[in-house]
Amino acid sequence: MNIGIIGLGLIGGSFALAAKKYSIGSILFGSDQKREHFDEAMHMGIVDYELNHENYADMDVIILAIPVDTSLEVASSILDKINENTLLIDAGSTKTAICKLLRLHPKRNQFLATHPIAGTEFSGPSAAYADLFLDESQIICESQKTRPDLLEWAVQWFRNMNMQVNEMDPEAHDKHIAYVSHLSHISSFMLGKTVMEKEKDERAIFDMAGSGFRSTVRLAKSSPDMWTPIFKQNQKNITKVLGEYITNLQDFKSLLENNSYDHLYSQMKEINAIKTILAGIKNNKTTNK
Amino acid sequence: MNIGIIGLGLIGGSFALAAKKYSIGSILFGSDQKREHFDEAMHMGIVDYELNHENYADMDVIILAIPVDTSLEVASSILDKINENTLLIDAGSTKTAICKLLRLHPKRNQFLATHPIAGTEFSGPSAAYADLFLDESQIICESQKTRPDLLEWAVQWFRNMNMQVNEMDPEAHDKHIAYVSHLSHISSFMLGKTVMEKEKDERAIFDMAGSGFRSTVRLAKSSPDMWTPIFKQNQKNITKVLGEYITNLQDFKSLLENNSYDHLYSQMKEINAIKTILAGIKNNKTTNK
């Protein structure tokens, strides 16, 4: 089984390592726009050979794990070059644009749009690890457009890696993910900005920042190369969600200014119900490696 | 050494367990407004005896680990009741009000205002553990007002528990802590609110929420009983910091609406410098137990 990985960062590298761990006989081919990432991935044994345009047709499956704008630029030409039984899987954090782009491609049925719901704030091959996806959700979109034999193989492959496969419409995916992922990243980036602007005396941050701050600001370490294109592609949903978040913060501030502490109390009490929701989300993994 | 703990929640319970672990010969007396918390703490071996008004005078040290509004109500009368060598330590998340309240108390020099920078989103005796404070910062305020022998003992006691002791002015404490703790809690509560309001189909949250969401929304599980009084006491600082956070979010939204992606990119790149700051904060503890 020849597996090609385009983009040897956290996601692509972890797919390579998971394939090696959970699928005996996997031979890994990889490429990365950054030469040093490819060299690092080779050195670390994440991939075995270099992937290039010439050997695309030798792959059984190719995973596209690069920023979502670059995916749009290269996906069509990759499909053009693969053989008639290769499956191309994209793993980006937005799904509408790529599904729309490829909808009329003659090899559309050799493409599967996915979003593995896993990640850390780290990037590059050194951030990759085989169990990043363990027990995590793998969203697949428009699976009825993928050739049944290829789809069946892919779903089994994901399950072998212990991923939970869930189907979702691309537009629904982009709308929901704005709430449960994209907003978290923006709130964290802006928290980091607010604190850094005012806490020029970094010593105070060192002494006073506990686990709460570390936890809420963690995502502010995320890669702008990855996130700028996501924000661009999901601009409409994110703008809406961000507006709702700002309104909630403004309401909270008004309650505080008006000394409406009973109201603040009952609001927080209601929000505590997030416990029940989070308890339903598998929480047995560390968020850092 | 008789140690009294008023409030057997996460902080008080963890102080009791740390005292037992790191100071041989500690005998723990405890009390809690909630009878079931006291019973639980006794059952778990967190404390050995019940603390009450009659035996305050038998304590060598008393830790006040209750909501910051209740601390203001009881601190004076506790000082009235202790013997001439007892030290009263408060461990609340705001420091200005308690220092102001006790400034003219005849036993002011038997009081030490502290803020151990440690916590989780859990509460009650079952959340307590002996190493909550390990390598964390213990802020002390106005230590020159505490009797030198009592201060010296307390600092050594904290160090025995592996806490890092740092002095800070009460007003400076309340200003800085609004940035690095109180704001994190509000951003997390409002994130939880925004998602819960719109994601009525909880299934989507279950399937799509990854570690990023879990991490940023974790603090929304925090106790309103503890946090409402903190927000009240630190209202002025928090209102200001919250205003700055909202402005940053609004600016980010405007950039997004105007498709200013280069600007968004460079802003996120700058915020990535938080890595350097966080690297200076000891990050070798899990945020959950």
- pLDDT digits over B54-66, tens only? 999 999 999 999 9
Rounded to 10°, the helix A235-257/A261-271 angle is 140
Under the banding of pLDDT at 50, 70 and 90, the label for residue B288 is very low
B187 contacts in chain A (CB < 8 Å): 187, 191, 216, 249
Query: How far is the CA of A145 from the CAs of A26, A140, A148, in angstroms?
Result: 26, 11, 8
Structure token pair of residue A171: 């537009």
- pLDDT digits over B10-49, tens only? 999 999 999 999 999 999 999 999 999 999 999 999 999 9
Q: Strand runs (DSSP E) across chain B, as ranges? A: 2-6, 27-31, 49-50, 61-64, 87-90, 111-116, 137-141, 164-167
**Interatomic CA distance for residues B170 and B148, integer angstroms:** 19
What does pTM read for this prediction?
0.91
pLDDT score for A240: 97
Mean pLDDT, rounded, for A163-168: 95
Share of chain B above pLDDT 90, in %: 85
pLDDT score for A70: 97
Q: In chain A, which residue's Cα lies nearest the Cα of B244?
A: A194
Under the banding of pLDDT at 50, 70 and 90, the label for residue A287 is very low
The answer to whether the Cβ–Cβ distance between B272 and A242 falls below 8 Å is: no
Rounded to a whole number of angstroms, the distance from the CA of B41 to the nearest CA of chain A is 23
Under the banding of pLDDT at 50, 70 and 90, the label for residue B289 is very low
**Interatomic CA distance for residues B243 and B246, integer angstroms:** 5
Dihedral of the CA atoms B98, B103, B106, B110 (nearest 10)? Answer: 60
The answer to whether the Cβ–Cβ distance between A196 and B271 falls below 8 Å is: yes
Structure token pair of residue A277: 């929701």
Written as one letter, the residue type at A235 is Q
A199 contacts in chain B (CB < 8 Å): 176, 179-180
Q: In chain B, which residue's Cα lies nearest the Cα of A117?
A: B210
pLDDT score for A122: 86
Rounded to a whole number of angstroms, the distance from the CA of A237 to the nearest CA of chain B is 11
Rounded to a whole number of angstroms, the distance from the CA of A284 to the nearest CA of chain B is 10
Bigger pLDDT: B163 vs B205: B163
The answer to whether the Cβ–Cβ distance between A187 and B185 falls below 8 Å is: no
Question: Which phi and psi angles does A153 have, rounded to 5°?
Answer: -60, -45
pLDDT score for B277: 77
- pLDDT digits over B73-104, tens only? 999 999 999 999 999 999 999 999 999 999 99
Q: How many CB atoms lie under 10 A from the CB of residue A35?
A: 9
Q: Strand runs (DSSP E) across chain A, as ranges? A: 2-6, 27-31, 49-50, 61-64, 87-90, 111-116, 137-141, 164-167
- pLDDT digits over A111-123, tens only? 999 999 998 888 8
pLDDT score for B284: 38
- pLDDT digits over A15-55, tens only? 999 999 999 999 999 999 999 999 999 999 999 999 999 99
Q: Tokens 């993994």, residue?
A: A285
Sorted by where each starts, the structural domains of chain B and their CATH numbers stand as 2-169 (3.40.50.720), 172-280 (1.10.3660.10)
Q: Strand runs (DSSP E) across B19-149, as ranges? A: 27-31, 49-50, 61-64, 87-90, 111-116, 137-141
Under the banding of pLDDT at 50, 70 and 90, the label for residue A286 is very low
